[in-house]
Chain A
Amino acid sequence: MAKSLGDVIIDIEKCKGCELCIDSCPQETLALAPRINQKGYHYAVKVQDNCTGCLNCALVCPEAIISVYRKIVK
């Protein structure tokens, strides 16, 4: 299996659990956490280490709280 090339960091305190990033992820990297943040929402978290850095989640996030890091392999 190919090694992960991307990583995603979510500002969980600003997440409102709308699940758009989860639906948009082709790799099923993200899911809602069983825990809640300070406002009471279940927030999105990375559950698998298979992110490709495709950026879909960051582009679709209405709160703009997802940062995606991508490793360039030569």
Chain B
Amino acid sequence: MGEIKLMKGNEALSEALIRAGCDGYFGYPITPQSEVIEYLSREANARTGMVVLQAESEVASINMVYGAAGTGRRVCTTSSSPGISLMQEGISYIASAELPCLVVNIVRGGPGLGTIQPSQADYFQATKGGGHGDYHMIVLAPYNVQEMVDHVKLGFELGEKYRTPVMILGDGALGQMMEKVELFEQMPRKTEFPDWATTGKKEGIHRSIITSLFIQPEVMEQVNLRLQAKYREIEKNEVLYQTINCEDADYIFTGFGLGSRIAMKAMEMAREKGHKVGLIRPITVYPFPYDIYKEFAGKVKGILDIEMNAGQMVEDVRLAVEGKTQVEFYGRMGGMIAGPDEVYEYFEEKFLGGK
């Protein structure tokens, strides 16, 4: 049993970074994730010697992450939607150079400079690539403060296993809300670095070169093939999801992150009124759990997807069910959060033909 605390999402995530033995954090403050850099600059260096640096911009911070990741260290950056957009070039470079790092996106309402309220409108950007070129990040979607902590550890592990950038796709509400968390034990910082790390050419050791520039198209194609093989491997092995009350369900609610929390409450309301509703919550949104939706597509009468955007994950759900069942979508945009009662009303209207 780890230490139990009442913490704000952003602070819990920062504490998890320190405890996961993170070596470097490079970031730039932006509401609603400013508490991360505030907490880390107050706590981190004194406790583990971790480097915490406020860069001059998001572009600079992701390139600092690129450089530090090249040395085999555990590195991280965090930002919110407009900042993550600025980072896309760097993330693409990191994916191409096959380096592990953790990028945390505490999503706020967009498009543009948008609002500072919670949203999930960065799903496409996070899961379909975001930057240029054929690449993916492993994307973890926490739904409570506890998972903000657990996914830090999991994210570092997955990133280092596959040498790929990992994103935690939170949202403004998860960053700001206070909840009970169980923290894991302090892990030591790494002292041994992998073979590919640029730790200095010494006598009898090969030269490590980190680059994302391959002028010859034949070489670039090989890099792409290697990346794609890696993504197929990830899609095969690392899919995570949670199902609740699905065994006897006639209808399924679904959503990721905060959307799934709203769906959970709406599911309870539906169960109270005697409707058999279950819930599927993807924990990794890339790789997306297509198979579980496919499995239930033939068994249920309908799936209702709840998100805080105009309908992004619903496209993946529709792909997965292959038209075998009715898929409906309910979402609010721009920083507004749907209430469980309005979700339930929408469910009644679409699937039960009104009251």
**Closest-CB distance, B38 to chain A (whole angstroms):** 10
Which residues in window 39-60 of A have CB below 8 A to B?
39-41
What is the chain B residue whose CB lies nearest that of A18? B176
How big is the A interface, by class?
Answer: under 10
Q: How would you classify the secondary structure of chain A's contact residues: helix, strand, loop or mixed?
A: loop
Q: Could you tell me if A41 and B116 are in contact, using CB atoms closer than 8 angstroms?
A: yes
Known: A16-B32, A39-B116. 12 other contacts (CB 8 A): A16-B176, A18-B176, A39-B31, A39-B32, A39-B34, A40-B31, A40-B116, A41-B31, A41-B116, A62-B177, A62-B178, A63-B178
Q: How would you classify the secondary structure of chain B's contact residues: helix, strand, loop or mixed?
A: loop
**Closest-CB distance, B240 to chain A (whole angstroms):** 29
How big is the B interface, by class?
Answer: under 10
Which B residues are in CB contact (< 8 Å) with A18? 176
Which B residues are in CB contact (< 8 Å) with A16? 32, 176
A interface, CB within 8 angstroms of B: 16, 18, 39-41, 62-63
Which B residues are in CB contact (< 8 Å) with A62? 177-178
What is the chain B residue whose CB lies nearest that of A36? B116
Assembled-state Cα–Cα distance A18/B31 (Å): 14
What is the chain A residue whose CB lies nearest that of B29? A39
Which B residues are in CB contact (< 8 Å) with A40? 31, 116
Which A residues are in CB contact (< 8 Å) with B176? 16, 18
Assembled-state Cα–Cα distance A41/B108 (Å): 13
